[in-house]
Amino acid sequence: MLLNHDTVLDIVYLTVRETTGDSNTTLTPEARLTNDLGIDSLDQAEIIVKLEREFPTANFGLLDYFDYDELTLSGITDFICKSAEQAETQQEEHV
């Protein structure tokens, strides 16, 4: 089942808010974790761990190759949707 981009983005927003404890910051798809939101590396790691639990089919190990200073919330969402889609395709090929 393909993930709905808007639903995933809402979950990313919720995860960021829960992790940072800041419900007042306006989140946009273009907001960057470090440069715009000021999220430190410890909170970034916690966000990724929470999203790994929420979306177990996404290959979060690949996020190690991203520049977290420039990584946007939309970029994370796109990554989750594409990674989950690839995992589903591979699973169907092995059936």
For residues 94 and 82, give the distance between their C-alpha atoms in angstroms, rounded to a whole number.
19
For residue 46, what are the contacts with CB-CB under 8 A and spacing of at least 6? 19
Is the per-residue pLDDT at 1 higher than 60? no
Among 71, 83, 82, 81, CA closest to 47 = 71
Is the per-residue pLDDT at 58 higher than 90? no
In this prediction, residues 66-77 reach a mean pLDDT of 85
Percent of the chain with pLDDT over 70: 89
For residues 17 and 5, give the distance between their C-alpha atoms in angstroms, rounded to a whole number.
18
Asked if residue 94 belongs to a domain, the reply is no
Asked if residue 93 belongs to a domain, the reply is no
Q: What is the mean pLDDT of the chain?
A: 86
CATH of the domain at 66: 1.10.1200.10
Contact 34, 44 (CB under 8 A): yes
